[in-house]
Amino acid sequence: MLPVIALVGRPNVGKSTLYNRLTRTRDAIVADFAGLTRDRHYGTGKVGPVPYLVVDTGGFEPVRPEGIVRHMASQAELAIEEADAVIFVTDARTGLAPQDHRIAQTLRESGRRVYLAVNKAEGLPASAAAEFYELGIGEPYLISAAHGQGIGSLMDDVLARF
Ligand code: GDP
Ligand code: MG
């Protein structure tokens, strides 16, 4: 079984752009991994020596808003549960948002290993990362999913334990 890396974050921070960077094959692979939920986007990838499975999560909307009250888990929460590590994607252009704090709290409670990616950082100074320490997730990684910057060192650390 490949290590499963979930991409989590509020809308528009660049999760799907990062997913596309990190994956080579898409979606079709899901059938080969019993036990993973099918209605999220999975793809395999390889940055450096270690192959992995990456999950792009739709967001924190409840899976079935009209459903039974006790089934309020979101796609993102389900993906976090089945992940070996989480990349928490935030946005250097908009800066910290209230929802980032809520997601950080959910991630802390999950007990998963979490890596904090500050996306859209192309052309920004290192100081752009400063406010993101507030999330209490640790060292932020400045990346640009669109321009392919910083992703190698992020993935080196994410995959170092596998
Ligand atoms: P998602 O909702 O988190 O999946 O975000 P998307 O991947 O759909 O991206 C949202 C918007 O941010 C799109 O317009 C992307 O082109 C843009 N975007 C994604 N990554 C970057 C980046 O590294 N730099 C900049 N400037 N824009 C980006
Ligand atoms: Mg998306």
Task: Kindly write down the DSSP assignment for every residue of 44-82, as one continuous string.
Answer: EEESSS-EEEEEE---SSBS-TTS-TT---BHHHHHHHT
User: Of ligand 1's atoms, which has the minimum distance to the CA of residue 149?
Assistant: 23
- Determine the pLDDT at residue 61: 59
124 lines ligand 1 (CB under 6 A): no
Average pLDDT along the chain: 85
pTM of the model as a whole: 0.89
122 lines ligand 1 (CB under 6 A): yes
Helices (H) and strands (E) in the chain, counts: 4, 7
Strand partners, 140: 116
- Determine the pLDDT at residue 74: 75
ipTM above 0.90, yes or no: yes
Q: Radius of gyration of the chain from Cα atoms?
A: 15
Instruction: Please determine, for residue 38, whether its predicted confidence score (pLDDT) is greater than 90.
Output: no
Range with the largest mean pLDDT of 45-49, 74-78, 95-99: 95-99
43 is in an annotated binding site: no
Beta-strand pair 140-142/51-56: unpaired
- Determine the pLDDT at residue 44: 87
Q: What is the mean pLDDT of residues 21-44?
A: 62
Six token digits for residue 57: 């999560």
User: How far apart (Å, rounded) are the C-alpha atoms in residues 158 and 162?
Assistant: 9
Q: Which of 12, 54, 60, 119 to mutate to test the pocket of ligand 1 (most atoms within 8 A of CB)?
A: 12
Domain boundaries, the chain: 11-159
Q: Which CATH class is domain 11-159?
A: alpha beta
- Determine the pLDDT at residue 34: 53
Q: What is the mean pLDDT of residues 147-156?
A: 95
> Is 37:81 a contact under the CB 8 Å cutoff?
no
Instruction: Please determine, for residue 109, whether its predicted confidence score (pLDDT) is greater than 90.
Output: yes
Q: What is the mean pLDDT of residues 13-41?
A: 67
Strand partners, 52: 45
Distance 18 CA to ligand 2 centre (A): 9
Range with the largest mean pLDDT of 3-12, 24-33, 74-83: 3-12
Query: Percentage of the chain surpassing pLDDT 70?
Result: 80
